[in-house]
Amino acid sequence: MDRTPPIFTGDERALLYSFLDWERETLAAKCAGLSEEQLRERAVPPSNLSLLGLVRHMAHVERAWFRAIIDGEDVPRLWGKDTHQDADFEDVDTASAEEAFATWRAEIERAREISAALPLDALAKQRRHGNDVSHRRTLIHVIQEYARHNGHADLLRERIDGTTGE
C-alpha cells in the first residue's frame, strides 16, 4: 500500500494533518491483504489485541474525540462500549471486518470535516476530566493514539505472516 509520508515543511495545521494521515494509512497498511480470520487473530495470552480490534478501537477514538468531545455531538459509543468498556477489542470473534473498516473510514471523514472547520485554538464543546481541550491538543492526542497502536499493529502483523516494515 502506498502511503504519503509526512511533510517536512509547512504550517502547523498541514504538519499535524500530514502526521495524522500517515498514522491512519499505517494502520490500513498493517491490515492490508489479510483475511477476516487473520484480522481477528489475537496477540499472545493474556492480551486481547487483534488488528480488527485496533481498527474498531480507532473508529471509536475518531468518533469520541472529534464528534463527541470537539463538536459536542450526541453520538452513541461504538461496538457496545456503553455497557462493555473493552468491547471494541474483546468482541471481535464474530465482528464484521467490512463493517469495522467502513465505520472507521466514515469516522475519519467526519473527523476531517469537523477539523477543517475549526481553528487549532478552538476549544472543544465537551471538557475532558474537568479541563478545556483545544482542537490542537485533540489532533496531537489522536496522532499519539495511532502511533502507540500502530506499534501493536506492527507486532501483530509480524506474528500473523511475518510482514514487517514502517
pLDDT for the residue numbered 3 = 87
Question: Which one-letter amino acid corresponds to residue 148?
Answer: R
DSSP 69: I
Long-range contacts of 49-52 (CB under 8 A, 24+ apart): 49/89, 49/152, 49/156, 50/89, 50/92, 50/156, 51/153, 51/156, 51/157, 51/160, 52/92, 52/95, 52/97, 52/100
Long-range contacts of 75-79 (CB under 8 A, 24+ apart): 78/103
Per-residue model confidence as pLDDT tens digits over 58-100:
999 999 999 999 999 999 999 988 888 898 999 999 999 999 9
Triad 107, 49, 166: Cα angle to 5°: 75
Per-residue model confidence as pLDDT tens digits over 104-151:
999 999 999 999 999 999 999 999 999 999 999 999 999 999 999 999
Could you tell me the pTM of the whole model?
0.95
> Please, what are the domains in the chain?
12-161 (1.20.120.450)
Triad 5, 8, 9: Cα angle to 5°: 135
- Greater confidence (82 vs 28) lies with 28
Confidence of residue 1 (pLDDT cuts 50, 70, 90): low
**The three grid cell numbers given for residue 113, joined into one nine-digit string:** 470535516
Per-residue model confidence as pLDDT tens digits over 31-42:
999 999 999 999
Distance CA 156, CA 166 (A): 13
